[in-house]
Amino acid sequence: MEVIKQVDIIREQINALRCSGKRIGFVPTMGALHEGHLQLLRASAQENDITVCSIFVNPTQFNNPDDYKLYPRTMEQDIELLSSVGCDILFAPGAEDMYAQQSLLQFSFGALEAVMEAAHRPGHFNGVATIVSKLFHIVQPHRAYFGQKDLQQVVVVKQLVQALSFNVELVCYPTVREADGLAMSSRNKRLSPVHRQTSVALHEALQQAKQKLLQQQPVVSIQAEAMSYLQSKNEVEVEYFEIVDADTLQPLESVQQGQEIAICIAAFVGPVRLIDNILVNLNEV
């Protein structure tokens, strides 16, 4: 595997690969890789001639400076993992490479800006859109791979691709979980042993809500019961627990047979903010 840090060098490499007819798969990450990332990388390696992974902890998508500072950085371990799953190129730029000049662009995603992650992390998706746009221009992938755990990010990137006519196919894979159901996340590395045990309550609340939806219980009571369950757990502070349309991510007051629904949660477990979601198809009734 080749490790490239300079933008001009990876552009030159990618141009040569595309000119020779190679299909490029791309997995953008912020490092601290886990099985969720590796699933995407294996899929890319199977479906494309060349797989590129980027590792860049993007400062513009953090609205909390402490969160940016504490985000785990495990480059040596990440390189070993990438080599083991058939990654061909690691693009690992520095902030001075990606933001040689301060970005003044402002993206707006309409109704998506008023819900869940966007509502609680002002400017987050502007930072996401900026870095994804930069990476798509630099890497020029045929396919780009994302995980369902960051569902709102996936919907935002879909809108970005459509609005700016990026010639890239987006591929979304289901969330990879630990044996007890906790969604794999780079932030899990920051959980203490006690908080790690407590964190499984997020997945339990999602599963309980799913069963109640399938039993056609009212949305408002499902949300209230989920909040009560989570508030009963020590050191769990819920930011949101939303039942939304899976395509638009807009909150639902009621649901209908055959509707595709997402149940989404964000909560602090101790000092660590975690997000998760599950999809529910009411045809399962």
Annotated binding site for (R)-pantoate: 61, 153
Establish whether 37 is a catalytic residue.
Answer: yes
Picking from 147, 122, 120, the residue whose alpha carbon sits closest to that of residue 39 is 147
Is residue 235 classed exposed, middle or buried when 0-12, 13-18 and 19+ CB atoms within 10 A define those classes? Answer: middle
Q: Which of 37, 124, 195, 203 is catalytic?
A: 37
Annotated binding site for ATP: 30-37, 147-150, 176, 184-187
Q: Which residues are catalytic?
A: 37
